[in-house]
Amino acid sequence: PPLLLLLLPLPSSAASCSPQPNATRFVCTEPTLSTFPSGLPPTTLAISVEFTALATLLPTALVGLPQLQELHLSSNRLATLPEALLRPVPTLRVLDLTNNLLADLPADIFASTSHLQHLVLQANQLQALQPAWFRHLPRLRWLDLAANALAEVPPAVFRPLHSLLSLDLSHNRLASLVPGALAGLRALEQLDLEGNQLGTLPPAAFAPTPALR
């Protein structure tokens, strides 16, 4: 589906991580890379730093990239993110953090990314959902939280996500889904709960999701 194309690796025609004035997409998959590339042109639209040894990001890593729309950081060693990381990139549409070591996120990490549409946090170590993460994401359409360590979905935690179409909570540790857990998700069409510890679901679990199919 077209939705998935945004999250595939960037095309081979994209430039390497080395700064190139006329390039807009940069790909770096060097296994020994431990620092985020610097000196990229302000016209950069997409960056892919994946399958590397990247373990930390400076708060200023994305400064000077005001047009950035896609940031792919999957399969690295990131255990934390600075709260100010995304402030310089207000036009960001896609953020992929699959397969890192994130156990938590700063409360206001997404405060400046109201245009974000695709957020992938699959295969991390998240243990709890913070309502603050989602309050600035009214345009989010796809949220992937699969393969974490989530034990519950707090009531109305997703309420600000008015545009969300797909929510993946598969392969977590959910033992129940309380009424109101999906409150606010009136546009939700797809929900994946596979691979949890759910024994029963209350009849009202899906009441606020009229578009669910």
pLDDT tens digits for range 154-200: 999 999 999 999 999 999 999 999 889 999 999 999 999 999 999 98
Integer Cα distance of 85 and 46 in angstroms: 16
66-112 tens-digit pLDDT: 999 999 999 999 999 999 999 999 999 999 999 999 999 999 999 99
Integer Cα distance of 192 and 131 in angstroms: 20
**pLDDT over threshold 70, residue 39:** yes
**pLDDT over threshold 60, residue 7:** no
Yes or no: say if 121 and 144 are a contact pair by the CB < 8 Å rule. yes
Q: Is 4 helix (H, G, I), strand (E, B) or coil?
A: helix
Yes or no: say if 39 and 63 are a contact pair by the CB < 8 Å rule. no
Integer Cα distance of 108 and 22 in angstroms: 33
User: Can you say whether residue 51 is alpha, beta or left, with left for phi > 0 and alpha for psi between -120 and 50 degrees?
Assistant: left
**pLDDT over threshold 50, residue 1:** no
> Which band of pLDDT confidence, cut at 50, 70 and 90, is reported for residue 12?
very low
Integer Cα distance of 189 and 210 in angstroms: 8
Q: If you average pLDDT over every residue of the chain, what do you get?
A: 92
> Residue 72: what residue type?
H
Task: Give the pLDDT score at 14.
Answer: 63
Residues of the chain with pLDDT > 90: what percent?
Answer: 82
> Which band of pLDDT confidence, cut at 50, 70 and 90, is reported for residue 13?
very low
pTM for this prediction:
0.91
